[in-house]
Amino acid sequence: MFSIAGCLPVLLAFCGAPLLFSVINRTKAKFAGRRGAPWLQPYFELAKLLRKSAVYSRTTTPLFTLGPMVSCAATATALLFVPLSGVAPVFAFPGDVLWVVYLLGTSRFFMVLAALDTGSSFEGMGANREVFFSALAEPALLLSLTTLAVWSQSLSLGGIYGNLGAVVLAPAAGPPLLLVAAALLIVFLAENARIPVDDPTTHLELTMIHEVMILDHSGPDFALIQYAASLRLWLLGSLLVGVVVPWRSAGLVLNVLAGCTCLFLLAVLTGIIESVMARLRLVRVPEFLIAASVLSIVALVLMMR
């Protein structure tokens, strides 16, 4: 299925996704008593990186540059199937739930190989943590989406989130949807490498996950990685806010505005979480992610009652 209306939020995502990073950083700056970087800072950085040339390690193969490209392409493709609040996505088919989740997997697969391509033990370590934590986060994400699919009796993300608005006020839906939202929040933080799973601003490579995987990327490759990261933030954010604020209106513009506002509020929340929490010890992260799976299992069981 193809929806022309879905192009509007997707265009907004492609243009505005990096802005989410500046919302998070401004929030953190406010908490720290700083003024913070300009709103358009992520764009300045992308523009600067695109102008620069790259330095490649002699160890690397073409996979090193392929990784960021595949990652960006897969995330962008996945975004075409994800609805923002009530607006139908550009494309939808029954079963696209899996397609979207596994596309994120493809993106990760190639980024991990690009990291291992350098032969650096730091990047090997980051790659290892990335696959380890995402293997634990994936069941939580898919089970949460299953719970929503049961509730809205649909197999496509467009259908799932489209029907959610109509039925959400039923009292039976409250507890499971709340649990799903909690599980999705954990997945959102983990997959986007935010505190408490990963600290994007830490200075010690030994404790990083996502940032340490991309130490050797520079120039346009690094720009692609950063852009893909912002798209992923937008994508997983839309899945989360679609559950938390299932308000749907008839008007397209109103819907899109509501969705974007919710996404920026989510970015503010992420900034608050990053300001008030410390990163978990690495050995505690698996427990945190398994908790997300348990929450989504409980939600599914409740949903079946």
Partner 1 sequence: MIGPFVFGLLLPVVAGCAALALHRRPDLASRIAAGSIVASSVLTGGCAICSLATGATASIKIPWNVPLGSLSLGMDPLSAAFVLPISILASAAALYGRDYLTATVRPGWIARSWFFFNSLVAAMLLVVSARNGLLFLFAWEAMSLASFFLVLTEYDHDEVRHAAWVYAVAAHIGTACLLVLFLLLGRGGSSLDFEQFTPQAAFASAAFILALIGFGTKAGFVALHVWLPEAHPAAPSHVSALMSGVMIKTGIYGLLRTLTFLGEVQPLWGWTLLGIGLATALYGVVFAIAQQDLKRMLAYSSVENIGIISIGLGTGLLGLAYNIPAMAACALMGSMLHILNHSLFKGVMFLGAGAIQLRTRTRDMNQLGGLLKRMPWTGRSFLVGALAISGLPPLNGFLGEALIVVGALIGVIASKHAHALPGEIVGVAVVGGLALIGGLSVACFTRAFGCVFLGEPRSQQASSAREVDGGMRIGMLILAAGCLLVSLLAPLWPALFRSAILALAGGDIRDAVMASPQPQSLLIALGVAYWLLAGVFALVWWLRRRIAGSWQAETGPTWDCGYAAPDPRMQYTASSFGDPFARLFRLLLRTRSGQGVPAGFFPQEARFSSESPDPFASSLFAPAFQVVAWLASKVRHLQHGRIQIYVLYIALTLIALLVWKLD
Determine if the peptide bond prior to 196 is cis (ω within 30°). yes
76 CB-near residues (< 8 Å, 6+ apart): 14, 228, 231
Applying CB under 8 A, which of residues 33, 35, 121, 203 lies at the interface with partner 1? 121
User: Which of the ranges 22-30, 133-141, 179-187, 272-280 carries the binding residues for partner 1, by CB under 8 A?
Assistant: 133-141
In the list 39, 40, 119, 284, the residue contacting partner 1 (rule: CB under 8 A) is 119
Q: Is 117 in the site for partner 1 (CB under 8 A)?
A: yes
> Applying CB under 8 A, which of residues 128, 202, 207, 275 lies at the interface with partner 1?
128
Map the footprint of partner 1 across residues 238-257, applying CB under 8 A: none
Task: Single out the residue of 4, 169, 276, 304 in contact with partner 1 (rule: CB under 8 A).
Answer: 304
CA 192, 85, 25, 191: dihedral to nearest 10 degrees?
A: 0
Q: Which amino acid is at 301?
A: V
CA dist., res. 236 & res. 77, Å (int):
14
Q: Which is nearer to partner 1, 122 or 264 (CB)?
A: 122
Of 121 and 276, which CB lies nearer to partner 1 in the complex structure? 121
Interaction of residue 232 with partner 1, rule CB under 8 A: no
What x/- string results for residues 135 through 154 when contact with partner 1 is judged by CB under 8 A?
xxxxx-xxx--x--xx--xx
The single residue listed with the structure tokens 């050995």 is: 283
DSSP type of residue 66: H
Q: Which residues contact 304 (CB under 8 A, 6 or more apart)?
A: 150
Tokens of 273: 């979480």
Per-residue mark of binding to partner 1, 50-79 (x: CB under 8 A) = x--xxxxxxxxx-x-x---xx-xxx-xx--
Contact with partner 1 (CB under 8 A) among 12, 80, 82, 190: 80
C-alpha 20, offset from chain centre: 11
* C-beta of 37 vs 54, nearer to partner 1: 54
Residue 277 interacts with partner 1 (CB under 8 A)? no
Question: For 132-169, b where at least 16 C-beta lie within 10 A, e where not — what string?
Answer: ebbebbbbbbbbbbbbbbebbebbbbbbbbbbbbeebe
Name residues contacting partner 1, limited to 172-191 (CB under 8 A): none
Q: Which of 29, 167, 168, 215 binds partner 1 (CB under 8 A)?
A: 215
